[in-house]
Structure 1
């Protein structure tokens, strides 16, 4: 399988990819230790901002990483008829305390899909749901086409 040259996505193309999906992989780091999890997100193309509901238990590994205020990467990707696209957002998560929720926040979280990844060993009352937003320092998209004619069988 031969790959054609990788190209950058325009802002509009990047926004389209992000709007088309609702899940990605969120990566956090603390010291030299990485942590990556699948997440659901909402995306506001006007503000180029992500909205996330992260569910954890008080002593969980996820909670430990989040409390260290790490830089994060959110990766969203797709394969559509031989065209691979990926978008990477880099920045810091900002927790939105429930006491500071605005009407705009409520609208955005209403647009964000319910977390699709809810596999927990604990009962629901032990789960902690925290709201975050990510206004990325960097947001980039890439695309590459696969030349199917060169594939061998």
Structure 2
């Protein structure tokens, strides 16, 4: 029977994990209703912040959740053979106004490779593109290794 060895990541390992990936899952909650979507992000290890470019239509469920300033959770994970690693951040998701952009933050948004506009059924003029910064209040990571018994 396989057993699991679980190790908490150090802050440097968490930063490395978030820096080498560009996609994860953004989960929002409002009035006991969950909403989770795949996202692309840029990560600034010095600020320990994720930068997201979110695309939606004006009447979408995503837009409704974002308008309610919900508590957010971002999960970034990977699996490699018998090793599984995940990082979870919890905190507020802040909309960034265009007049607040700096050259440094613009570079972070440039790291967000998705969404690809071609995947949207709606015309491009009907899409809202908003920039968000996620600076988690807690940011933790774990690595799990499955150790299989020799038979």
Contact 2:2–2:147 (8 Å) recurs in 1: yes
Q: Secondary structure at the match of 1:6?
A: strand
What are the Cα deviations for residues 52-75 of structure 1, in whole angstroms up to 9, with x where unaligned?
Answer: 000001110000000000000000
Please identify, of 113-122 and 39-48, the stretch whose mean Cα deviation from structure 2 is larger.
113-122
Contact 2:94–2:134 (8 Å) recurs in 1: yes
* Superposition TM-score, scaled by structure 1 size: 0.91
The within-5 A match list for 1:93-132 is 93-110=93-110, 112-116=111-115, 118=117, 119-132=119-132
Please identify, of 78-87 and 33-42, the stretch whose mean Cα deviation from structure 2 is larger.
78-87
Contact 1:86–1:141 (8 Å) recurs in 2: yes
Q: What is the alpha-carbon distance in structure 2 between the residues aligned to residue 48 and residue 60 of structure 1? A: 29
Q: Which residue of 2 aligns with 1:49?
A: 49
Cα RMSD (Å): 1.6
Please identify, of 99-108 and 62-71, the stretch whose mean Cα deviation from structure 2 is larger.
99-108
Q: What is the alpha-carbon distance in structure 1 between the residues aligned to residue 52 and residue 64 of structure 2? A: 17
Q: Which residue of 2 aligns with 1:16?
A: 16
Q: CA deviation at 1:22?
A: 0.4
What are the Cα deviations for residues 2-29 of structure 1, in whole angstroms up to 9, with x where unaligned?
Answer: 2323110001111111111100000001
Q: Which runs of 4+ in 1 moved over 3 A?
A: none
* Superposition TM-score, scaled by structure 2 size: 0.93
Runs of 5+ in structure 2 lacking a partner?
Answer: none
Q: CA deviation at 1:117?
A: 5.7
Contact 1:38–1:117 (8 Å) recurs in 2: no
Contact 2:5–2:146 (8 Å) recurs in 1: no
Contact 1:39–1:117 (8 Å) recurs in 2: no
How many residues get paired?
150
Runs of 5+ in structure 1 lacking a partner?
Answer: none
